[in-house]
Structure 1
Amino acid sequence: MARVVVVFSSLLLSAAAPVGPAAGPQARSRYTFDKLVWRDEFNYTGRPDSTKWGYDVGGSGWGNKELQYYTKNRLENARVEGGNLVVEARREALQPENAYTSARLLARGKGGSQTYGRFEVRAQLPGGRGTWPAIWMLPDQNGYGNKSWPDNGEIDIMEHVGYDPNVIHASTHCKSYYFRTNNQKTGTTVIPDATTAFHVYAIEWTPETITAEIDGQLYFAARNEGTGWQAWPWDKPFHVLLNVAVGGEWGGQKGIDEAAFPQQMLVDYVRVYEMKKR
């Protein structure tokens, strides 16, 4: 296992009421995450299991000026082989306005959604300048504020941009703290072989905290301030999303290496554990 070098983002340190790594185990000690309630081990071949995964489809830029077109049920972009889910970004124009294709899978409405718990994904990330893979979470329903993003929250278990290899980010976004106001709560860590080896990316989510870890090492934590949904909308069911974007306001900041494609995110498993009080 590669050595994990922890580099805390200034955003994590300066955002209102974050907690550092020392507080994580204390907060988590009130809960257990032992019961596995939903999983996909990808021990089959072909298309992703339709009873567990749906697709977001389209090429509108997805609010970030991304360049890919997300396809549905297309093996070139999403398939299970060799014991892994393969999410593949390709340089090809299925639609005139999009020079790339990829896939964005989501577990909403497929049994894997829940409020609180441990969400764990073992994955190997794509490289290449211009790639932007993500393992993240969105709410099943939008009920707060204007019923759109970011009012209802986002949890980023893992984000990586290809122009900054092996630097991994975990973040939370909400009405009070999100990236367009440059005050999102974020943690950053370096995994020297993130694009060549598998690692376990996980969050543990309780009513008090959201913490992120890689291979069991905690590197990000954010605390519920108790100031209402604007700062803590994470009290309702969320689901996992898996995707590889191309370009965009973040992923495309240093341009795109067209020769680097195709690029793949390999996912060994996705597991969801129930939270219980001790």
Structure 2
Amino acid sequence: MNKRLKYKIGVESLLIVCLMMSFFAISSCETDDTQVVATFNNLVMADEFDTNGAPNSAIWNFDIGTGQNGWGNNELQYYTDRTENVTVQNGVLIITAKEEQFNGSAYTSARLLTKGKFERTYGRFEARMRLPYGKGIWPAFWLLGDDSNGTQIWPQIGEIDIMEYVGDEPSRMFGTVHGPGYSGGESISKGYELENGRFDTDFHVFGIEWGPDYINYYVDDVLYNQITPEDVPGEWVFNRGPFYIILNVAVGGSLPGSPNAETVFPQTMLIDYVRVYENN
């Protein structure tokens, strides 16, 4: 089992990260004495995917179907809970996007969520994953605020995208927040690019550390962005909750566009683990 690094508090540790840029492929590194870097070391949820078969039903639900307007993005896939689209094998959760005719859709995939089973406000949320690739492929690891049984709607409930990635840019991912006044194309986002490598050829750890008035974004334990209330042009909706976890692989849609002749199917996202820590 990989042991996560504990984060030191203060500008000095950020300076060390910057000095080590030759060892890490990162998009940017800034020392800002207003940044908050906390230590989250109390493990409150871990799925190591040690049991073959279906995902752990005590943790995961499934979204099924095409959603409203293709899950709000005109996506092309039909989400299922079939083993052809989602299974656990040899310590890895496998989400597979396939090109096939199914219930009126040309593609199938899977979308797992912890709504009603595991929800939290604040903490470190991380997953070790190997991503798929190709035009029209859009995997994501994200958090969505609970809608209080339909009494609140997106984007008022808030959305924290820990990892998003479009498959025709295999060296670049991005982290994003959506809220009232800054959603969809107006969301607050920052990318992270590997200088030597691709996210589809090896596993990487994607995570956030989220506390009152800040969300820190990490790739492989490198802090590459912090978002605070001062960074959003609207209400900060991330000091309330709870939020739940979503893992999915979308195909097509307004973002990232449709697959093309070069897109290879099937495509798989491999998840080695999902872990959540709280601050003692």
Relative to structure 2, which stretch is displaced further, 231-240 or 85-94? 231-240
Q: Which string of whole-angstrom CA distances, capped at 9 and with x for unpartnered residues, describes residues 197-222 of structure 1? A: 00000000000200110011011210
The corresponding residue for 1:63 is 72
Q: CA deviation at 1:171?
A: 0.5
| Contact map agreement 2:135 2:263 (CA 8 A) in 1 | no
Q: Any stretches of 5+ residues in structure 2 without a counterpart?
A: 1-21
CA shift in 2, pair 1:88/1:137, >3 Å: same
Q: What residue identity is the alignment partner of 1:7?
A: S
Residues 1:140 and 2:143 are matched in the alignment: no
Distance 1:150 1:79, change over 3 A: same
2:55 aligned partner: 48
Instruction: Count the aligned residue pairs.
Output: 255
Per the TM alignment, residue 128 of structure 1 is displaced from its structure 2 partner at its CA by: 1.4
- How high is the TM-score relative to the length of structure 1? 0.84
Does 1:94 pair with 2:102? yes
Per the alignment, residue 27 of structure 2 pairs with: 7
Two-structure CA RMSD over aligned residues (Å): 2.5
- Relative to 1, partners in 2 of residues 1:260 and 1:274: Cα closer, same or farther, differing over 3 Å? same
CA distance change for structure 1 residues 186 and 267 in 2, over 3 Å: closer, same or farther? same
Distance 2:190 2:111 in 1: 24
> In the alignment, is the contact (CA less than 8 A) between 2:204 and 2:219 conserved in 1?
yes
Q: TM-score, normalised by structure 2?
A: 0.84
Distance in 2 separating the partners of 1:193 and 1:247: 21
Report the residue type matching 1:27 in the other structure: V
Which amino acid counterpart does residue 36 of structure 2 have in structure 1? A
CA contact (8 A) 1:127 1:263 kept: yes
Q: CA deviation at 1:251?
A: 1.5
Percent of aligned positions that are identical = 43
Contact 2:182/2:234 (CA < 8 Å) preserved in 1? no
- Structure 2 CA distance for partners of 1:3 and 1:243, relative to 1, 3 Å: farther
**Corresponding residue of 1:267:** 271
Residue 25 of structure 1 and its aligned partner are, at CA, apart by: 8.5
Gaps of 5+ in 1: 9-19
Q: Secondary structure at the match of 1:86?
A: strand
Aligned to 1:13: none
Does the 8 Å CA contact 2:182/2:232 hold for their aligned counterparts? no
TM-fit CA distance, 1:28: 2.1
Tell me: higher relative CO, structure 1 or 2? Use CA pairs within 8 A at least 6 residues apart: 1
Q: Mapping of 1:25-40 within 5 angstroms?
A: 26-29=35-38, 32-40=39-47
AA aligned to 1:162 is: G
The CA distance in 2 between the partners of 1:115 and 1:143, in whole Å, is: 17
Moved more, 227-236 or 185-194: 227-236
